[in-house]
Amino acid sequence: MSASKTNGHGRAPLSASSLFFTPLPPAHVVTPGKESHGRYMLTVPWNRVSGWGQPRIGPRQDLSFDPLAGVLQYAVTCFEGMKCYKTDQGDLRLFRPSKNFDRLKRSGARLGLPCDWDNDELLELFAKLMALEAPLVPNTDGSNLYIRPTLLETSEGFGIKEDAFAAEALLYVVTTLNLGKGLYASSEGEGKGIKLDACKEFIRAWPGGTGSYKLGANYGTVNISKKPGYAMSLWLHGKEDFISEAGAMNVFIIKEAADGYTEFITMSLSNGIVLPGITRESIIELLNEHAEGKREFPIQGVPKNIRVVERDLSMPEIINGLEDGTLKGMFGCGTGVVVVQVGEIQYQGKTYQIPSNPLIKTLRDTITGIQRGKIDEGKSWSFKVPAWNPEGADGQSDEEVTAA
């Protein structure tokens, strides 16, 4: 399905210049229990005939839909997870935002939702939403503004439709503070790291399914598998017990190869059961450039003789690697945790301790350094959010202001 199929008939494109801004009411009070959320939200409605409607940024509020809306009946919804960080200089940074926008388009296309916006227009709207919340974001290590763009079907997704496309949809963006900060602190070192429960009972993804798309349905249906005491499920697939991912993270193992190289092994994306993580992709890119000696700044502390291998990786391989001592560490990565050491796996009634590896912290420091603008990887991965301070942004004014 191509983007042009849902566009090109005089439908309005998504346009940041028509933004309508509503400041917080003068006596803005935070709803109890929602203190950790951003105060504003961005909404952009979409209609199959008229295209994208007026983008609005205003106080965060409840949404309402017809009880037969596609999102409510058949989970026609997809999302993204992004983080905004504050640098020591006080400016806000987004990490490779167009990668997330492209992935949201891909998820939307899988569901018959619109996927034809210009990423630069969306980024401009995004940046304004971030800028409004800037005063709330701390600049301490691990702190962040987590961003949740969501795209869903608001029209009736019910009955027999002529084709798979939604008649009406909504793109909205809300934020929350410091997601993942707790896990982030679980840190690295001997006896540390998160505990995973290797799950054979519930299967997260399978070939031909939707595992490689960030669809709401992928998460709601496997929530119940997480056992108390474990940070996440380790998702297995196939009779070989291949490891696809853990929770909502991609997984790497660090292994000593027969030729003495240090290998970073992760499940390949080719069979469509692994979510193509942007943290995963960034780590692979940095490690490959390091290995090829391309980088002007090699990753400090990473040996020269390394390689990245994308292939199937099974639980029996992990166990063998523990027995013969070639398994040198394991970590998960994703926007939520950045990079986190795996300390223990529970599998078929046994508990396996995974050795720690200082390379995990090195990788985490490298990625967070880039995200916070402390390390320049030379590829403009860190986007600096321009300041935006419309009248009434902090609830001082009761007038509605249109911002161009």
Tell me which residues touch ligand PLP (CB under 6 A).
81, 214, 245, 248-250, 275, 277-280, 334-335
**Amino acid letter at 301?**
G
Burial of 265 per CB tally in 10 Å (0-12, 13-18, 19+)? buried
Side-chain-side CA neighbours of residue 98 (13 Å):
9
Bridge partners (DSSP) of residue 329 are 254
How near is the Cβ of 28 to ligand PLP at its closest, in Å? 31
Backbone angles phi, psi at 316, to 5 degrees: -55, -35
Give the nearer residue to ligand PLP in terms of CB position, either 245 or 365: 245
How near is the Cβ of 259 to ligand PLP at its closest, in Å? 30
**For residue 210, which of 274, 306, 303 has the smallest C-alpha distance?**
274
Give the nearer residue to ligand PLP in terms of CB position, either 69 or 232: 232
How near is the Cβ of 81 to ligand PLP at its closest, in Å? 5
How near is the Cβ of 337 to ligand PLP at its closest, in Å? 9
How near is the Cβ of 18 to ligand PLP at its closest, in Å? 30
How near is the Cβ of 382 to ligand PLP at its closest, in Å? 15
Bridge partners (DSSP) of residue 264 are 254, 308
From residue 178, alpha-carbon distances to 37, 161, 288, 333 in Å are 9, 41, 31, 17
Q: Provide the token pair at 353.
A: 């301790």
Give the nearer residue to ligand PLP in terms of CB position, either 155 or 210: 210
- What does the alpha-carbon distance between residue 369 and residue 359 come to, in Å, rounded to a whole number? 15
- What does the alpha-carbon distance between residue 75 and residue 44 come to, in Å, rounded to a whole number? 19
Over the Cα atoms of the chain, what is R_g? 22
User: Regarding beta strands 194-199 and 338-347, do their DSSP bridges make them parallel or antiparallel, or are they unpaired?
Assistant: parallel
**Amino acid letter at 222?**
V
How near is the Cβ of 80 to ligand PLP at its closest, in Å? 8
- What does the alpha-carbon distance between residue 11 and residue 167 come to, in Å, rounded to a whole number? 13
How near is the Cβ of 316 to ligand PLP at its closest, in Å? 23
How near is the Cβ of 103 to ligand PLP at its closest, in Å? 7
Side-chain-side CA neighbours of residue 76 (13 Å):
29
Give the nearer residue to ligand PLP in terms of CB position, either 69 or 104: 104
User: Regarding beta strands 56-59 and 20-21, do their DSSP bridges make them parallel or antiparallel, or are they unpaired?
Assistant: parallel
Give the nearer residue to ligand PLP in terms of CB position, either 46 or 235: 235
Backbone angles phi, psi at 371, to 5 degrees: -60, -30
- What does the alpha-carbon distance between residue 103 and residue 218 come to, in Å, rounded to a whole number? 15
- What does the alpha-carbon distance between residue 54 and residue 144 come to, in Å, rounded to a whole number? 28
**For residue 43, which of 182, 167, 149 has the smallest C-alpha distance?**
149
How near is the Cβ of 218 to ligand PLP at its closest, in Å? 7
Give the nearer residue to ligand PLP in terms of CB position, either 6 or 250: 250
Bridge partners (DSSP) of residue 20 are 56
Give the nearer residue to ligand PLP in terms of CB position, either 24 or 345: 345
Give the nearer residue to ligand PLP in terms of CB position, either 244 or 357: 244
Give the nearer residue to ligand PLP in terms of CB position, either 337 or 345: 337
From residue 322, alpha-carbon distances to 47, 264, 332 in Å are 55, 16, 18
Give the nearer residue to ligand PLP in terms of CB position, either 249 or 340: 249
